[in-house]
Amino acid sequence: MRVSLSGGGSHPPSPAMAFFFSRIFPLPFALIGAIVLLFGMRHFGHARASLDWPVADAVITASEVVRSRSSNDSGPTYRPEVSYDYSVDGASLSGDRISFGGAVSSSNQSWARSVVARYPVGGQVQVRYHPDDPSLVVLEPGMNWAVWLLPGFGALFLLVGVAMLIFLPRMMRPAAGPPEQVASDHVDNAAPDQGFVDEDNPFRDR
């Protein structure tokens, strides 16, 4: 298969262009995918382990629905935001993580309001904190659907980047054609032998 990037005809791309598209162009996909995948797996591990973390009493200090407008004018989205104060070994700390998986926004306003309704300001709740880092805290421990988003996107980008690194060099390699055709073309294009003498020709110069 021959890939043309020169804007016309079936000529193969130049070596520099072939190197860029087969080796350089896929790297951002693979690199971004690897970073997002590692970051997502970190959240994934925290979500699973948080069910066994120590418990601390906390007080809700802020609870509201934040409205944002998307850049593509597809309508507003709504995100619940909850803040709380807690203490560990006499140290006062604050947190705002509801669950692992990042701050999730939705076009469903009722969902965001339902989350906020569970945590009214001044309410007493329990939070889970990392035993080695008490500042890493979560209000709703355990797994949820949002935890899978970052690893999923990261794995997708990584696979696309690796696939391009493997297949693009093959696709951009010039096609030589069948061996028989190549041999025939070579013979047809060869210059005639100027020193050839036909001994059986009776009309040759004497």
Residue-wise pLDDT tens digits, 152-202: 888 898 899 888 888 888 887 765 445 555 455 555 555 555 554 555 555
pTM of the model: 0.63
How far apart, in whole angstroms, are the C-alpha atoms of residue 55 and residue 138? 10
pLDDT over threshold 90, residue 97: yes
> Where are the domains positioned within the chain?
14-51+142-172, 54-140
Three-state SS string across 1-16, please? CCCCCCCCCCCCCCHH
- The per-residue pLDDT for range 47-76, each reduced to its tens digit, is 899 999 999 999 999 999 999 886 666 788
CB 140 within 8 A of CB 95: no
Rg (CA), the chain: 33
Residue 78 CA: distances (Å) to CA of 68, 81, 82, 206: 6, 10, 13, 102
Specify the pLDDT at position 139.
96
> Which alpha helices (DSSP H) does 4-126 contain, by range?
15-19, 27-49, 109-117
What's the distance, CA 80 to chain centroid? 26
In this prediction, residues 73-86 reach a mean pLDDT of: 90
